[in-house]
Structure 1
Amino acid sequence: MYSKFLNLDSEKQNRIINAAIKEFAQKGYSNASTNEIVKEAGISKGLLFHYFQNKKQLFLFLFDSCVELISDDFYKKIDLTETDFFQRIRQSVLIKMELLAQYPDLFKFVEKAYMDDAADIQAEMQKKIRELNHINIGKIYEGIDVSKFRDDIDIQKIFKIITWTFEKLSDEELYKAKLLPNYEIDYQKVQKEAEEYFEILIKCFYK
């Protein structure tokens, strides 16, 4: 589908990608202008639509590309031989902080994409987010030492409670960012709050 674009030299690809990420991250899907993207990238509008059929296809391509880059780096850094569940989750939070510092523009775009409720992309985005959550939860929970958890509670229910806790923590921040246009997610604060939840959940569910 994207073979024409992927056959471009990397410098031209990066110019188009960076221009599009900047525009979508600042304005969201509906308000983003392909005119601004081509102006920033230094190409014609006809050429952009030669590589991508429309704005929607460009947006979804960018989302997949950003998520793939961040995920690849994340799984290169995380130690999946660590079998303690909470140590692994702590690792995940710290690595995300590192990646945020490394790829601030990519994270801003992905955050915006997660919050975007434009009708044109909503169904595809919801499907992609569900699939990503399923894949990542499966990987993060794989090989965990469940013997550390209490025997009197169903382990699957424990995992669901923990997952819902951190999903809600994330959702609250995304909701604030959506509600307040100039709101910036303070990841250090989120990390500190997550640590407080770790302590409570360890007391609740470990032997």
Structure 2
Amino acid sequence: MPTQTFFNLPNEKRERIINAATEEFASYSFSQASIARIIEQAGISRGSFYQYFEDIKDVYKFIFEKAGQEKLVYIYDVVSRMNELNTFVIMKELYKAGLRFANDHPRLAQMGNKFYKEEESVRNDVIEGLVEKSHQFYEGLLLTGIEKGDVDPKIDVKIASRLFYTMNLAVVENYLTSSGQEHFLDDIDGYLLEVDKMLYILEHGLKKKD
């Protein structure tokens, strides 16, 4: 993560660096990203960059975490209505919240789209520590659903939360790969249709119904 020197910078300069890094990672994959372009866009020296960040992965992880914090604002808006809505409706609303985030923060969203196409080693390194938080969030969602009577109390909540997390990654990756789209906003209806297919499996299971 950034050094204290970075956080001590004047707001204008700090934001300039953040914007330059965001633009870089929205435009290029991690393997193609360049410190040279970031420092040129930000108007800082290479020496200054290394006073603020350890390397390019350090700034990449910082911007990725910042995007996550921005997205949480939209997620909490849905969570605040958790007791009012059916659990599976909430799950759908979380995806819609993600679309609102993408619409309001297109460069961060574009960076997120590229993230799903990164090498697995890069993805695992970046989201290390975030996975367990995601599992805990889904566990809480499911436990609330059990309390409301929406979710089968016989399920193993830990297994179900990890299943939802994995299926979430799969549906996003599958959509971006199969649709040929660069951005969810290019075909919102198509993306939400994929989400509906995944949520149907979660809600109804695989067993044929009578």
The bucket for the TM-score relative to the shorter chain is 0.7 to 0.9
| Change in CA separation of 1:162 and 1:55 when aligned onto 2, cut-off 3 Å | closer
- Which has the higher mean CA deviation after the structures are superposed, 135-144 or 94-103? 135-144
Q: Which amino acid in 1 is paired with 2:106?
A: P
- Could you report, residue by residue, the CA deviation over 1:112-166 in whole angstroms, capped at 9, with x for unpaired residues? 23432285x4552252453353243234334114634457xx3238946972544
| Change in CA separation of 1:134 and 1:18 when aligned onto 2, cut-off 3 Å | same
Q: Which amino acid in 2 is paired with 1:15?
A: R
Shift of 1:53: 1.9
Per the normalisation by structure 1, the TM-score is 0.78
- Residue in 1 that maps onto 2:118: 116
The 5-angstrom pairing of residues 50-69 of structure 1 reads 50-69=51-70
Per the normalisation by structure 2, the TM-score is 0.77
Partner SS, residue 5 of structure 1? helix
CA contact (8 A) 1:17 1:62 kept: yes
CA contact (8 A) 1:21 1:105 kept: yes
In the alignment of these two chains, the number of paired residues is: 199
Q: Which amino acid in 2 is paired with 1:96?
A: G
In the aligned structure 2, how far is the partner of 1:148 from the partner of 1:80? 12
CA contact (8 A) 1:83 1:143 kept: no
Q: Which runs of 5+ in 2 are unaligned?
A: none
- Residue in 2 that maps onto 1:81: 83
| Change in CA separation of 1:102 and 1:111 when aligned onto 2, cut-off 3 Å | same
Q: Which 4+ runs in 1 deviate beyond 6 A? A: none
In the aligned structure 2, how far is the partner of 1:110 from the partner of 1:70? 11
CA contact (8 A) 1:23 1:36 kept: yes
- Could you report, residue by residue, the CA deviation over 1:142-200 in whole angstroms, capped at 9, with x for unpaired residues? 4114634457xx323894697254443123124458xx6x7434343111332355456
Partner SS, residue 149 of structure 2? helix
In the aligned structure 1, how far is the partner of 2:111 from the partner of 2:31? 14
- Residue in 2 that maps onto 1:94: 96
Q: Which amino acid in 2 is paired with 1:4?
A: T
Q: CA RMSD in A?
A: 3.1
The 5-angstrom pairing of residues 110-189 of structure 1 reads 110-117=112-119, 121=122, 123-125=124-126, 127-128=128-129, 130-144=131-145, 145=147, 147-149=149-151, 154-156=154-156, 159=160, 163=164, 164-176=166-178, 183-185=182-184, 186-189=187-190
Taking every aligned residue pair, what percent have the same amino acid on both sides?
22
